[in-house]
Structure 1
């Protein structure tokens, strides 16, 4: 995928993600007649910030370790997705990280976990369903070797959200993971 084709694809995907988030926010406020904290969108306290940042660092390290062991043990090939992202310009990479951090947490954690919890009476049903769907959406791009760290990251992200019920805390976790995976890790490969 050439740089301009890749940038256009990423731009279209990012736009679609932001449109979905806009739709969810309009749905919550105007159709459901609820406030945004009903999907965990609120300012985090210091403890939530610390846990979000620490969980992001810990999740990235654990995901990389588990992936390294699996790649060596099972002789797996690295996915091309990470190197494809690395081929994009820095502004596009920043847009990718920012878009994923905000939109994925609203679309895959805040809204579905809260609404499934209301429907089922169990936060764990919401957490498991949203986690599996999140992994299923990422699998085609990342493949088996990418699914290994994604599974670790998903458990961490869902765990932070379920613990805090604060989507901004989860965004901090997601941001640290993505910064390490997109900007730090490639410098060592």
Structure 2
């Protein structure tokens, strides 16, 4: 199980890091963007198959379980908190640090049909929570004997995956990552994290689109 967990972590973080989607689907037109989105879903599916077929563990071992009323309630509560952190970041923290938002990256995400933008935000909420939250927190926590170690390392990996967006986005992602990690550690409910993550991205980039 030790080597299976290590291999699973290498897959979860390695596949996105080496840019397989970008290599297979280069370009900024609609078709390659759809291809890159499909690649992310494939990465997440591989990890789910790894858990169930190779590690032979239930999906509950990475916090993936049937949603309950509490799932939606806590997801909405943390979505509100994440949106508050976004507004605080752009209104106070980022100006105080004299940082500037990477508008080129933002425009690249919203300069697509609305349906594709929404699909991207949902994909981010689902796939990133599997690859950067549920699986690594549980497996690193098991390997280290401390769940907080898994939480810290998974948070670092999540933020690092967004570092190319610029330092201002680093602040926003770090706040969001901390809140989502807290939600997972508290409730061990990955669907709640997925919903909160997707809602924050959907609303945040909808606002950017409206002002773009």
Q: Choose from 51, 54, 63 the match for 1:31.
A: 54
Q: Kindly report the root-mean-square deviation, in angstroms, between the aligned alpha carbons of the 2 structures.
A: 1.6
Provide the residue aligned with 1:125 in structure 2: 149
Counterpart in 1 of 2:43? 20
Which structure has more relative contact order (CA 8 Å, sep 6+)? It is 1
Match of residue 89, structure 1, among 90, 94, 113: 113
**Post-superposition CA distance 1:50-107 (Å, at most 9, x none):** 1111101211221221232133223322112222211111111011011111100111
CA contact (8 A) 2:122 2:202 kept: no
Alignment of 1:2-151 (within 5 A): 5-79=28-102, 80-140=104-164, 142-151=165-174
Contact 2:94 2:171 in 1 (8 A): no
Structure 1 gap ranges (5+): none
Query: What TM-score, normalized to structure 1?
Result: 0.90
Give, in whole Å, the separation in 2 of the partners of 1:105 and 1:67: 24
Give the paired residue count.
185
Q: Structure 2 unaligned segments of length 5 or more: list them.
A: 1-26
CA distance in 1, matches of 2:119, 2:40: 12
